[in-house]
Amino acid sequence: MAAAHEPEVIRDKAAMRAWARRRRAEGKAVALVPTMGFLHDGHLSLVSAAAASAGGKPVAVVVSIYVNPSQFAPTEDLATYPSDLAGDIRKLAATAAVAAVFCPPDLYARPDAGAESASCLEETGGAYGHETWIRVEHLEKGMCGSSRPVFFRGVATVVAKLFNIVEPDVVVFGKKDYQQWRVICRMVRDLDFAIEIIGSEIVREADGLAMSSRNVHLSHEEREKALSISRSLVKARTAALNGNTHSQQIKYQMVQTLTEAGGQVDYVETVEQESLVPLERIDRPAVICVAAWFGKVRLIDNVEIQAPS
């Protein structure tokens, strides 16, 4: 029996579902924080938001740790994605807010054990392998969806599976993955999941770099150069609030800043906050989203802007 401050580690799907139903029978709300592990303070801020999510009602917080292979294309970094399960559990135990950690070995139906290392799982369809996918057809297009065409299919599908297993009342996502957060919000609305989705603000290092599990792969020099992302976003937000609301001008200036810093820009887009429709001008609530490579590491960040008065 685990000590009271230590989260219960659950690996089996049926056991996880039964655990959550017992907590609900006790009168508690179940709050889920989905992660891919290698936890940092940004993840722990999501745990804090989850623990405070029920407005005074007792909350049982579940953190899932699962590196989802279906959101990686074959050329992406599934094999090198950082992992430290023992360290993650120690960090969660130290918060005293997490009741359970769900870390399943696999969440997909596979035709044979040899497919376990597959990235986007294309080859597992047929022969009784996994072939059911969820697409959020409009919101998954553009931005990360353009350069990572299997990403949101994989995210939406595995998150829906987590919802069906954990049956949470509340789920907390970080806004750093802005498009992902909006995709999940739309999926929940469209498929009638009885779940409240909370978007938690970006947590940054002291120098402004958005916290990310991938930051560990940056060299010291690359990390210094990557600070151009957050700095360019701050400048863009300030310019927009001071009247420079033309999206193309904002994009040009940001691309120039990131390129001069040594980054390879994937995209810079100014979009409406909920629909993610590209905006020519910031005349309504908007978000500037950016993705850029520094060395072999792809980083994303964003800043929300309310329309200037």
- List, as one string, the DSSP characters of 77-146: STTT----HHHHHHHHHHHT-EEEEE--S--S--SSGGGTT-SS-GGGSSTT--------TTTTSSTHHH
Q: What is the pLDDT of residue 79?
A: 87
Weakly modelled stretches of the chain, pLDDT under 70 = 1-4, 112-127, 308-309
Catalytic (active site) residue 130: no
Which residues are 198's β-sheet partners? Answer: 172
pTM score of the predicted model: 0.93
Which tens digit of pLDDT belongs to each residue from 140-167? Answer: 999 999 999 999 999 999 999 999 999 9
Which tens digit of pLDDT belongs to each residue from 25-59? Answer: 999 999 999 999 999 999 999 999 999 998 888 99
* Contact (CB, 8 A) for 230 and 204: yes
Catalytic residue among 5, 40, 43, 246: 43
